[in-house]
Homo-oligomer: A and B are copies of this chain.
């Protein structure tokens, strides 16, 4: 949720920003509600959308040559989701991005943001901050793959985000961890057994 708390947090974080400024950014954002299974970004799409997840769960996935769905990432409340293929690599999206449950988004066109930011350098600190947040999240993800085993990755996710894990169907969770659903099921029974 975008609460008053959070608003004052951002204003404190970026001293050069006024309330007016902040509302200027928010005016670019359109609220959009998605039902479970509804698609936000289609495969091959070229528009550069980016969204703040107010509530709900989004999933970014593709089909490999064998026709299996592979989940690249799952995005929950208070995180950003977007067509990274468009924005980072300037290419049509290889991925589908869709809602896993009823989800509320604040959607912005990245091009419009770019234009606004070009005109108003006072936003630069904010953009930089969000980019760093994103970069941090992705770096942590790489670390988890290099430093942890699948079981350790699962344990860590349960510890860090217990409420999120409960809401993600196992088959998507498995793909997120880089294993098959069967293997995740085994990891779960293994952990349950070790606790007894």
Contacts and interface: CB of A to CB of B under 8 A. Distances in A.
A134 interface: yes
Interface string A131-161: 1101110110111011100000000000000
A71 B138 contact: no
A72 interface: yes
B143 A72 contact: yes
Give chain A's interface residue range (CB within 8 Å of chain B): 20 to 34
A138 B142 CA distance: 7
Contacts of A88: 132, 135-136, 139
A124 interface: yes
Interface string A67-81: 000111100000000
A164 to B, nearest CB: 17
Interface in A98-115: none
B136 A135 contact: no
- 3 interchain residue pairs of minimum CB distance: A145-B145, A88-B136, A138-B138
Interface of A: 62, 64, 70-73, 84, 88-89, 121, 124, 127-128, 131-132, 134-136, 138-139, 141-143, 145-147, 175-176, 178
